Chain A
């Protein structure tokens, strides 16, 4: 029975594809011809597809756990010595499995939409699920035609597997891809809503209200996914860097940037009914960038630390998929987007205007990163050679643009919709601005001993965000007049959506503090150390007290015991390792970390120099945790916004879904 597991897996994939094809076509035709029975196909097909993909995933996991090396994918990415939890995470450790995870998560989102959005108008739901069915069909075809994880190595079954890439044998990798994909793929929901609204000619505010919680949730997942990737690179690659502007990192940042713009423009469209075309276009753009990211990572057209198998057939297939999905949706946009631009004026300092600026800046930043990522590819394509566009380009453009964005970010939450006198806004913010300038000017001298312009400017931005938010919060809960509810009651009355915004912006400020501090105050020293010797770096004393060899489950390790005496505090020990993975014959550095809210101590064991001396790379990374803490705060803001009561109203007001006259024309 167990020998049949891979075939059952393939069979489940085929069943899922069949259901996806039905889901993609029948409800769409049903919605066009107003046939309730046909439209009703959408939900059961989404459920069935999810069930069969979950089964396929379980079968693949079982093949890993049972060490079935007749399955090529298992043989390439596992080993009988691999601990069981890494066998499980190896399921998505390489190409075939990660595409399967992609498809599973997509069907999971479809399932969630079919359950939680079942109160939508029938034709809207049918169209949304059908669009998700298109995407799913494409990816399942891709899996079955080019990347079937269940392909066998018969009749010559290998005795043991090649082992999972040691870089990936790590907790961060167990959760990083699923989180990232939840975000990437989650944007398919808002994409599907936008297309359904276009096709159905209902381009009013209603679709944005339905799509908002889904978008916020996907954005929150993507935020966590990117942060996990950065954290993983920090402690696993052994360089102590946390962002490399690597094409694959950029591939995840691009949909995040566009998604951030989208979240804000959805808000404007929902509240004020403006920016309609723009929001639809942004929804398409965001998901297209998710697909583009998948293409860049999976096709291997760009060189990157994430070296995946480079198979031109796969690249061509994903490109065709990308071309059809994005080309078709942009064609539908060109044909169906309302022609009449909604005329609704707003003042220069109104929230509308500030959100417009936010969108423009975010799109500029996205395009900047996109160009930098694709530039080597374009150049190569024009026969101008191979180059890499490195951090100098990205930092030179990304940092000032983000700074500009922060300036407006501080203003936005305090401005009113439609009309806001500039003088009033200035009066509200004068105190916050003054306090931010003063604190930012003082802190670098206190912290670093000398004044530093870069640090001051960076902190100024973070403080500007925090203090203007604080000003807004205090203003909101202040008792207006005699007998009005107290501060505490007012505080409890603030909506989850407001708290979501607050945390989202606060998270950005926290991340900025992390970036500024770690970029300016990191200390790094490469030292040579033998047993019994001591060195001093940044006030810390490091002594190697012991040096051992030890045997892990699937590796041998040289372990140094380093005693660290921090200035004025108790000593502790760190154990940096150099591991040698036996199956893949790869050496790996296992960094020893002493994390702290205000500073990390980072010790990586290098190579043996000679006669028992080892090179050590010692780094002190102040505030590095704030990078990821900020991302977590941002993500929690996204989740909180989803909990807002407005989204849980059972039935949408019918009036909201009446086709607008311009859409019908």
Chain B
């Protein structure tokens, strides 16, 4: 009898999959990500995309030098990520509205990263270059794009998984940033 039950396993796995596929069909694409909060931004030591010799660390987000406790949106992107291309106009909008953006070029090559910014525009104050994905790993990134709103003391206040839609800009990102300013 036990063995017979074992034979049911494929059916059960498939049933779960169908539920997901069904939800995928009926899903509202504007639905938003949940927040994950109040962790300090992980320590890092990475070169910038533009200049291999310029290395930056966590103080970039914690004020002191030039950020003066400014709220920052950290965006993880990569040339290999098609959804990131769709997200660039929204990031540009945010930059135009005075939001400070820091990019993380994730698991990419320098050439591809440059090509991406040349093609789709560069809204970032500075882009960190993370070819091995070490910062991405510490941030718990599963893919790209993902965005983090970091407050003036360097604490992550909001985590956006997936791409920021034009609606998200007005309804989620700008209100969140206003909240932590």
**In the bound complex, what is the Cα–Cα distance between A387 and B163 (angstroms)?**
6
The stretch that binds B, out of A94-102, A182-190, A261-269, A314-322, is A314-322
**In the bound complex, what is the Cα–Cα distance between A392 and B108 (angstroms)?**
9
Residues of B within 8 A of A339 (CB): 3-4
Please judge, given known A-B contacts A383-B31, A385-B161, A392-B133, whether A337 and B20 are in contact too, CB under 8 Å. Answer: no
Q: Does B160 contact A (CB under 8 A)?
A: yes
Closest residue to B11 on the A side, CB-wise? Answer: A330
**In the bound complex, what is the Cα–Cα distance between A199 and B161 (angstroms)?**
47
Please judge, given known A-B contacts A303-B83, A339-B3, A374-B20, whether A386 and B162 are in contact too, CB under 8 Å. Answer: yes
**What's the minimum C-beta distance from B87 to chain A, rounded to whole angstroms?**
10
**In the bound complex, what is the Cα–Cα distance between A375 and B20 (angstroms)?**
10
Q: Does B174 contact A (CB under 8 A)?
A: no
Cβ-neighbour of A381 out of B4, B23, B33, B145 (below 8 A): B23
Establish whether residues A301 and B21, one from each chain, have CB atoms under 8 Å apart when the complex forms.
yes
**In the bound complex, what is the Cα–Cα distance between A339 and B46 (angstroms)?**
58
Establish whether residues A388 and B143, one from each chain, have CB atoms under 8 Å apart when the complex forms.
yes
The stretch that binds A, out of B74-82, B88-96, B148-156, is B74-82
Contact with A along B8-37 (1 / 0, CB 8 A): 101100110110111111110101111000
**What's the minimum C-beta distance from B52 to chain A, rounded to whole angstroms?**
20
Cβ-neighbour of A301 out of B24, B33, B82 (below 8 A): B24
- Main SS at interface, chain A: helix
Contact with B along A314-349 (1 / 0, CB 8 A): 011001001100110011011001010100000000
Cβ-neighbour of A319 out of B25, B81, B143 (below 8 A): B25
**In the bound complex, what is the Cα–Cα distance between A499 and B76 (angstroms)?**
50
Establish whether residues A303 and B82, one from each chain, have CB atoms under 8 Å apart when the complex forms.
yes
**In the bound complex, what is the Cα–Cα distance between A303 and B82 (angstroms)?**
9
Cβ-neighbour of B7 out of A326, A337, A385, A389 (below 8 A): A337
Closest residue to A305 on the B side, CB-wise? Answer: B82
Q: Does A466 contact B (CB under 8 A)?
A: no
Establish whether residues A326 and B14, one from each chain, have CB atoms under 8 Å apart when the complex forms.
yes
Q: Does A378 contact B (CB under 8 A)?
A: yes
Residues of B within 8 A of A215 (CB): none
Establish whether residues A389 and B143, one from each chain, have CB atoms under 8 Å apart when the complex forms.
yes
Establish whether residues B24 and A316, one from each chain, have CB atoms under 8 Å apart when the complex forms.
no
Closest residue to B7 on the A side, CB-wise? Answer: A334
Q: Does B62 contact A (CB under 8 A)?
A: no
Within 8 A of A (CB), among B144-181: 144-146, 160-163
Establish whether residues A388 and B81, one from each chain, have CB atoms under 8 Å apart when the complex forms.
yes
Residues of A within 8 A of B23 (CB): 381
Cβ-neighbour of A383 out of B7, B25, B34, B80 (below 8 A): B34
**Told that A381-B24, A387-B142 touch, could you supply 20 new A-B pairs with CB distance under 8 A?**
A285-B10, A288-B14, A303-B82, A312-B26, A316-B25, A322-B18, A327-B18, A339-B4, A376-B143, A377-B21, A380-B31, A383-B31, A383-B32, A384-B162, A386-B83, A388-B81, A388-B84, A389-B142, A390-B80, A393-B143
Q: Which 7 A-B pairs have the closest CB atoms?
A: A385-B162, A385-B161, A386-B162, A385-B33, A330-B11, A381-B23, A387-B143
List residues of chain A with CB under 8 Å of any chain B CB.
277, 281, 284-285, 288, 295, 299, 301, 303, 305, 312, 315-316, 319, 322-323, 326-327, 330-331, 333-334, 337, 339, 341, 374-381, 383-393
Write 20 A-B pairs (CB below 8 A) sorted by A numbering: A281-B10, A301-B24, A316-B22, A316-B25, A319-B25, A327-B11, A327-B15, A339-B3, A339-B4, A375-B143, A379-B161, A380-B24, A381-B24, A384-B33, A384-B161, A385-B160, A385-B162, A390-B80, A390-B143, A391-B80
